[in-house]
Structure 1
Amino acid sequence: MSLPSLQELAGQSLLRNEKLAISALETLPNLLLPQLFKQAYEGGHRNVLKKIVSSWPFPRLPLGAVKKRNASESLENAVLEEVDKLLIQSPREYKLEVLDLRSVGQEPMDVLSGPVDSWLPQTSCEGEKKPLKVAVNLYLRNGNFNKLSCLSQWAEKRKGLLQLYCHEFHIWLPFLSGCKCYLEYVNLQYIVVLGLHSLHNPAEFLDLISYLGHLMNLRKLSISNIQEERVISLEERRHIVSGLASKLLNLECLQELHLENASFFKGHLHKLLRSLKTPLDDLAVTHCTISVPEWNQFSKLICVSQLQHLSLENVRLASLSPEPLRILLVKAAHTLVDLNLEDCHIKDSYLYAILPALSRCLQLRTFSFYGNPLSMGALKRLLRSTANLENLYRELYPVPRDCYVDNGTLHMELTRNHCNELIGILKTFWRSERIYFGTDRCHRCNNRYIYNKTSMCRCRRFIG
């Protein structure tokens, strides 16, 4: 824990006397205000906060950066009330341009316009005062619409004086009908990250299509845990996928696509990915089943040609040909920095087929390979093959299958012997740090034992 700076100590001393602090604000240099604002918020000094905000001299107010999780809303409301007074003052002489309510993506000292606001529309220095830009991240769950409701009411009340801009918009709802009425208050074309989670009726994707057409600056789309509460015919499924694919075609800024536990798209995944006409930086298809025909098309897609991050976690690759993955690794050899193949059921012969291509991924920094049933001989060959990847700094390997006996029971003595031998091999290449060996996941608690790093769960069977 670092010692407080002289400026922090001065702020603490000043805030012990609120009246003195408020009077001192009139002569206090502007440079000291961001730190004092942070300390006043953390200390619950409501009156000092209001006074600071009433004459805020910077174009940005990073309110979200000083908020603590589960903190009282009264302080936030006090700041918002003071901002509201600024909006209706005449003449409008305040300098504030951006009120940032996001708890991530900024720091308490980000009070000047810069890269942190690059996703927002630029403010012209000429002409009349522009509406205040209120930046938010929205996370909608059942019964948790209070923040969006209050913000939308504020935007309606001060129409023309402020505009809501949402950077990340995540929805965890079985049905979308409850949140669509709020979308008109958010500038859709500035949403950067969109997440659709736990949807119970995939047909509602069709209701979203008209909105997706406005997301011209969308860079990341996540779709997870799509469930089917009713039987959907093949024709309707094709219609839904075709509608979604037609909108993805127009998302020219899309760089990241994450599909998790989205079995709804099985057999149609290639149609969805084929609609992307520009290369992605990040692709995650996890906890999904991929059919043979769509897997065989995987490496031919434009979107996978320059990947920096690829995750196929919990996709059963053992029943699929290794050739598409080999070709994909060859294509992305000069760009790939993160590869996650955890729990893909990859065996020795599959590994040997992709190993030459993997050893050419010279930019690779993290490699996750837990949960694949490899022999001791295959692991030795893998470690020696990746030895030339000089940028690798985090490697996650499975405990050899030789360590398991009697239908998956872990033999601890064998585990110690085999893992120590593998670590010895790594030391000859000066790369024993940040390299871990993990068991399969426990069938009961889903935890994974990491050799020499974590404790064994109580529900796992082991001997020795």
Structure 2
Amino acid sequence: MNSKDLPTLQELAGRSLLRNEDLAISALEKLPIVFFPQLLKQAYEDSRVNVLRKIVSSWPFPRLPLGALKRRNAWDSQEYYVLEEVDKLLIQKVRPKEYKLEVLDLRSVGQSYLDVWSGPIDSWLPQTSSATEGRTQPLKVAVNLYLRDEQLNKLLYLSQWAEKRKGLLQLYCYELQIWLPSLSICKYLLECVNLQYIEILGLHSLRDPAFFLNLASYLGHMTKLCELSLSNIHEGNIASLEERRHIISGFASQLLNLECLQKFHLDTAAFFEGHLHQLLRSLKTPLNDLAVTHCTVSASEWNRLSKLPCVSQLQQLSLENVRLTSLSPEPLRVLLVKAAPTLVALNLEDCRIKDRHLYAILPALSRCLQLTTFSFYGNQISMHALKKLLRLTASLERLRMELYPVPQDCYEDNGSLNRQSTRDHCNELMDILKAIREPGRVYFGTDRCYRCNNRYIYNKTMMCKCQRR
């Protein structure tokens, strides 16, 4: 057994104590507070309900990271027991002298159950002001909300609790992800949280685009929003083109308020096709992460992309599965020149770029000296052009992940892959890299199989069964 897997003396002491619940409960009054975090974890995992309740009522720290104890996102009975005990404490007129709880953290990520020593550590939460110290403050309940059908009971429980104990507790949401089609339920839940503290928002699989217009008034209050993702947004039943424009204009107008936005992702969003420029021009501060993926971009939108203020300081850019074959390479060249001092990750996977496009952007790519990740799978590049590309990227000393397409020279006239040619060409390309610098992770991948959508990666994966027939 690895020494790291061996239990600590504190863990062994906790297990021994929990074998006798009455003894454990009585011992809590004299137990050094250093034992509380570990004992809480063990009582939670072993479903020692009575001990768990007593630990919560005696919790000696300002922060209780309950979410970090959960094995999954769904609620379990232990979590309800903790909330019941916290609720009992909230309604007591005279609370126990050892009561110090300020933040109940229900988020399951971004924290450790042992990370309680310094009290509230989340900079996104409001801090208790000195003017209000000495008075009982509402308990801050920190959550990530995932509005989907299977989470509905949990969300309604929380919102009803917040409504019932208004003035005694406040819900603070850090991350909000919405899949629910019901606007009325979403509105009810959004009314219960402090919208101005949301930093991550995702809207997914919404088939009624009118939802965006109704959400706009809430979006305008999310002034600290850092990340916004829109994915799988379909056109739905829109009565007219004018109605579509009205919805998008109303939604885009609220983006003007998002002065903290740093990350914007648009994926498989047919509803916004033709209006990408309208969304992006509403972002007044520079982004560090822009992804427009699996979308159709018009020539007019493409030509205006590099002129937008929000793309001047990009650190990450993804245009995966945006077909650039019929578009001019000039906007991409200008965009790379503009982002060159800051760009660290570039994803041009499955853009169907050809040699002439590549040659046009090579000088700009050579200026991206901070680049660490370059994904270029799924582009129709010849061996001659790939040699030029690798001689250039070999000089980018920070590159650690490089994903290149198998040269078009490796395919037969019927589209099948010539294994021997692939081996020879990929080995030659690797030699070009090795002659200049020690490569990090470098892979060569084929086009995706039109049957199963898998990609064969030379020297890494197996050829899919479709191609082996």
Q: How high is the TM-score relative to the length of structure 2?
A: 0.94
Aligned amino acid, residue 123 of structure 2: S
1:161 to 168, 171, 176: 168
Which residue number in structure 1 is paired with residue 78 of structure 2? 75
Which residue number in structure 1 is paired with residue 61 of structure 2? 58
Say if 2:45 is the partner of 1:45. Answer: no
Which residue number in structure 1 is paired with residue 450 of structure 2? 443
1:113 Cα deviation after fit? 5.2
Say if 2:129 is the partner of 1:124. Answer: yes
1:216 Cα deviation after fit? 0.9
Conserved? CA contact 1:217–1:253, under 8 Å: yes
Which residue number in structure 1 is paired with residue 359 of structure 2? 352
With over 3 angstroms needed to count, the CA separation of the structure-2 counterparts of 1:31 and 1:203, relative to structure 1, is: same
Q: 1:49-198 maps to which residues of 2 (within 5 A)?
A: 49-69=52-72, 73-92=76-95, 93=97, 94-112=99-117, 116-125=121-130, 126-142=133-149, 144-198=151-205
Structure 1 CA distance, aligned partners of 2:12 and 2:398? 42
Conserved? CA contact 2:201–2:225, under 8 Å: yes
Say if 2:421 is the partner of 1:414. Answer: yes
Deviations 1:397-447 (A, max 9, x none): 111122222432122222222222222222223433311111222222222
Conserved? CA contact 1:106–1:116, under 8 Å: no
With over 3 angstroms needed to count, the CA separation of the structure-2 counterparts of 1:114 and 1:223, relative to structure 1, is: farther
Conserved? CA contact 2:383–2:408, under 8 Å: yes
1:17 Cα deviation after fit? 3.2
Moved more, 382-391 or 295-304: 382-391
Q: 1:240-389 maps to which residues of 2 (within 5 A)?
A: 240-389=247-396
With over 3 angstroms needed to count, the CA separation of the structure-2 counterparts of 1:170 and 1:72, relative to structure 1, is: closer
Structure 1 CA distance, aligned partners of 2:404 and 2:302? 25
With over 3 angstroms needed to count, the CA separation of the structure-2 counterparts of 1:72 and 1:149, relative to structure 1, is: closer
Count of matched residue positions in the alignment of Structure 1 and Structure 2: 462
Aligned amino acid, residue 461 of structure 2: T
Conserved? CA contact 2:44–2:78, under 8 Å: yes
Q: Which runs of 5+ in 2 are unaligned?
A: none
Q: CA RMSD in A?
A: 1.8
Conserved? CA contact 2:57–2:89, under 8 Å: yes
1:320 Cα deviation after fit? 0.9
With over 3 angstroms needed to count, the CA separation of the structure-2 counterparts of 1:455 and 1:337, relative to structure 1, is: same
Moved more, 425-434 or 189-198: 425-434
Which residue number in structure 2 is paired with residue 426 of structure 1? 433
Aligned amino acid, residue 5 of structure 1: T
Aligned amino acid, residue 120 of structure 1: L
Structure 2 CA distance, aligned partners of 1:211 and 1:109? 35
Structure 1 CA distance, aligned partners of 2:419 and 2:45? 49
Once the two structures are aligned, what percentage of the paired residues are identical?
73
Conserved? CA contact 1:170–1:194, under 8 Å: yes
With over 3 angstroms needed to count, the CA separation of the structure-2 counterparts of 1:91 and 1:234, relative to structure 1, is: same
1:461 Cα deviation after fit? 4.6
Secondary structure, counterpart of 1:250 in structure 2: coil
With over 3 angstroms needed to count, the CA separation of the structure-2 counterparts of 1:248 and 1:114, relative to structure 1, is: farther
Aligned amino acid, residue 128 of structure 2: T
Secondary structure, counterpart of 2:384 in structure 1: helix
Conserved? CA contact 1:224–1:259, under 8 Å: yes
1:360 Cα deviation after fit? 0.9
Structure 2 CA distance, aligned partners of 1:82 and 1:171? 30
1:318 Cα deviation after fit? 1.4
Secondary structure, counterpart of 1:163 in structure 2: strand
Aligned amino acid, residue 217 of structure 1: K
1:88 Cα deviation after fit? 1.4
Structure 1 CA distance, aligned partners of 2:304 and 2:9? 61
1:36 to 34, 39, 43: 39
Secondary structure, counterpart of 1:19 in structure 2: helix
With over 3 angstroms needed to count, the CA separation of the structure-2 counterparts of 1:109 and 1:423, relative to structure 1, is: same
Structure 2 CA distance, aligned partners of 1:70 and 1:138? 10
Structure 2 CA distance, aligned partners of 1:145 and 1:267? 34
With over 3 angstroms needed to count, the CA separation of the structure-2 counterparts of 1:144 and 1:385, relative to structure 1, is: same
With over 3 angstroms needed to count, the CA separation of the structure-2 counterparts of 1:113 and 1:442, relative to structure 1, is: farther
Deviations 1:251-280 (A, max 9, x none): 111111110011222222111111111101
With over 3 angstroms needed to count, the CA separation of the structure-2 counterparts of 1:232 and 1:40, relative to structure 1, is: same
Which residue number in structure 2 is paired with residue 391 of structure 1? 398
Secondary structure, counterpart of 2:465 in structure 1: coil
Aligned amino acid, residue 98 of structure 1: V
Aligned amino acid, residue 47 of structure 2: G
Q: 1:443-462 maps to which residues of 2 (within 5 A)?
A: 443-461=450-468
Structure 2 CA distance, aligned partners of 1:274 and 1:245? 9
